[in-house]
Amino acid sequence: MDLEFASLPIQERYKLLASLVIPRPIAWISTVNAQGVNNCAPYSFFNAFAEDPPLCMISFGPRQDGLTKHTLKNIQDTGEFVVNLVDEATANAMHLSAEEIPEAESEFEKTGLTPAPALRVRHPRIAEAPVSFECRVYKTLEISPARVFVFGEIILLHAREGIVDPLTKRIDEAHYQPIGRLYANRYCTTRQRFALPGELPE
Ligand SMILES: Cc1cc2nc3c(=O)[nH]c(=O)nc-3n(C[C@H](O)[C@H](O)[C@H](O)COP(=O)(O)O)c2cc1C
C-alpha cells in the first residue's frame, strides 16, 4: 500500500501517524493558571531531542471547541512548565486527566493527584509521578493556526528515590515502569525489555 499524504484528509493523516509511530512517550504536563487552579494533561506528540541544551518538545493541537488548550495557555502566560513522566501506577490518573474540563476545575482534584512544589519554576509537579522535568520555554514554533510546537529547556530533573543511581546516573529498571501511548485509549507497558549483542555507550 502506498499513500500520498497530500491527498489524505487531515484526520486520516493524524490517525496513521498516531497509530504507526508507536509507542510514544507521554509528557504529563502540570501547570497552574493565573487564578491558582492546578492543571495537568497528557501530551504524546512529545520527546526529548537534545542534551546541550537539554531540550524536549511538545506539539499542541486545538481543543475540541477550537480554543487553545489550557496547558498551552498557561505555558504561554508564564514561559515555564513541568513535564511529568507516566508509569503503570499513574496510568489511570493520566488517562482521566485528558478529559477537557472547564478551566476553573482542576484535574489534580478530579483525579486525586497531589501537587508538589517545583524547585525552579512556579508550576507544581505531580507528586505521584516517578520523574518530573522542570522546563523553561526555549522556543515556540507556530506551525499553523491549529498546531504549535513548544520546545522546553530542562532546568531540573526530579526523580523518585531509587530510579537514578546518584553516582553513575544509570536507571534502575526494576524501579522504573514507564508506559507508552499506542493510539486512542490504548497503552503499553515496558515489561518485556531485551538486549541485543554488542556494546553501545549508555
Ligand atoms: C495519552 C494522550 C496523549 C495526548 N497527546 C496530545 C498531544 O500530543 N497534543 C495535544 O494537543 N493533545 C493531546 N492529547 C489531548 C489532551 O490531553 C486533551 O485535549 C486535554 O484535555 C488537554 O487539557 P488542557 O486543556 O488542560 O491542556 C492527548 C491525550 C491523551 C489521552
Cβ 158 under 6 angstroms from ligand 1: no
User: For the segment 69-108, what is each residue's pLDDT rounded down to a tens digit?
Assistant: 999 999 999 999 999 999 999 999 999 999 999 999 999 9
Dist. CA 84–CA 123, nearest whole Å: 12
**Does some domain include residue 16?**
no
The response to whether residue 60 sits with its C-beta less than 6 Å from ligand 1 reads yes
**Would residue 86 count as lying in a domain?**
yes
Sign of CA dihedral 16, 72, 86, 108: negative
Q: Is the CB of 70 under 6 A from ligand 1?
A: yes
Domain span including residue 66: 23-189
In a domain, 130, yes or no: yes
Arithmetic mean of pLDDT, 45-74:
97
Above 80 in pLDDT, residue 157? Answer: yes
Residue 90 CB–ligand 1 contact under 6 Å: no
Q: How many domains does one find in the chain?
A: 1
* Cis amide bond preceding 53, omega within 30: yes
Residue nearest to atom 18 of ligand 1 (CA): 98
Q: What is the pLDDT of residue 129?
A: 98
For residue 135, which of 88, 75, 92, 61 has the smallest C-alpha distance?
Answer: 75
Cβ 28 vs Cβ 133: under 8 Å: no
- Find out whether the beta carbon of 45 lies less than 6 Å from any atom of ligand 1: yes
Q: Give yes or no for residue 118 CB within 6 A of ligand 1.
A: no
Does 42 contact ligand 1 (Cβ within 6 A)? yes
> What's the gap in Å between 151 CA and the centre of ligand 1?
16
The CATH number of residue 111's host domain is 2.30.110.10
The distance in angstroms from the start CA to the end CA of the chain is 37
* Spatial distance between the Cα atoms of 46 and 69, rounded to a whole number of angstroms: 15
Distance CA 93, CA 112 (A): 8
DSSP 56-122: EEEEE---TTSSPPHHHHHHHHHSEEEEE--BGGGHHHHHHTTS---TTS-HHHHHT--EEE-SSSS
Atom of ligand 1 nearest to the CA of 74: 27
Q: Is residue 17 part of a domain?
A: no
- Residue type at 183? Y
Distance from Cα 42 to the centre of ligand 1, integer Å: 5
Q: Look at residue 9 and tell me if it is in a domain.
A: no
Whether residue 11 lies inside any domain: the answer is no
Quote the mean pLDDT of the chain: 97
pLDDT of residue 130: 98
> What value does the mean pLDDT take over residues 121-134?
98
Q: Would 66 be classed as within a structural domain? A: yes
Q: 62 lies in a domain? A: yes
